[in-house]
Structure 1
């Protein structure tokens, strides 16, 4: 079923991308040790960790939506019955989420492709390519969009979407 495929895809991407946090934390520790213990700062660590963090942050959007971890304002829906709440949430996805997600997908794709075509790099002593991060935004937007489809299908089919209270 489509719901299971989308949920599984975002679950796998989320778990794989979470490893990036370990990588950029290790790079930061390495850079701090090189800088303060050996007085030999790296020229590349700051830019690389900044890009890895950006990649990590954007790629987890679909995973976060799958686990209902995005910020929610439930002032209206908390007083509604289950059926009414589900339909209000479907309307919210249709009116707000999908138009935003579509713009995010199309604009980030154009943004990434333009960067790739120009061979865009960072400024500074080490010039890293920027287009992989910008194209990752398009992939992340697509993952978020399809996870939204999964969530709406769950709502329509009456599958309870768990809500996490903070």
Structure 2
């Protein structure tokens, strides 16, 4: 493996490790959402108690789970695809399809989302936007910031995908997807 190829692989692995860590971290929110939802139901129907902030926290966790977990899902090829021909393609052809998709679909859409959301998020931060409900959570501006984080993480994963596609096109056929990542000893 040439130094350039090694650099591509190490760069892809570094970017993917960020998304792996974020994805595994926010995955715990799904369990926490279940527990908080259970607590809301028990408190409401058993003790006739309810807190808006507790109910809103479920929505916040749900949003963070999906926004921060999108790049993790992309890394593990978990997004829905319309796969009529793709699975029949050779690894090299799949690399071209992935490269094209990342360069001309994923990255432009993510950059569009990032730049179009910037003013929306900035305005929310300027106002320190909070809940519209009395007793709700005051961190709406933090939640809206997750839009920018989602776009940034997806761009990072898109760049990692591009690096892997380049490796395949340069003859390293085992490097297309993150699940095919070699161990540290192989690098």
Same fold flag (TM > 0.5): yes
Counterpart pick for 1:91 among 100, 105, 116: 100
Q: Which moved more, 1:51-60 or 1:110-119?
A: 110-119
Bigger proportion of residues as helix: 2
Aligned length: 163
The C-alpha deviation readout for 1:83-138, integer Å capped at 9, x for no partner, is: 12211221122121111011122223332221111221221122422111111111
- Structure 2 length-normalised TM: 0.80
Deviation, 1:76, is 3.7
- Structure 1 length-normalised TM: 0.90
Gaps of 5+ in 1: none
Q: Does 1:139 align with 2:129?
A: no
Counterpart pick for 1:64 among 70, 73, 77: 73
Aligned position for 1:122: 131
Q: Does 1:81 align with 2:96?
A: no
Gaps of 5+ in 2: 1-9, 169-174, 180-187
Larger-Rg structure? 2
Aligned position for 1:161: 177
Aligned structure 1 segments of 4 or more residues deviating by more than 3 angstroms: none
Deviation, 1:162, is 7.0
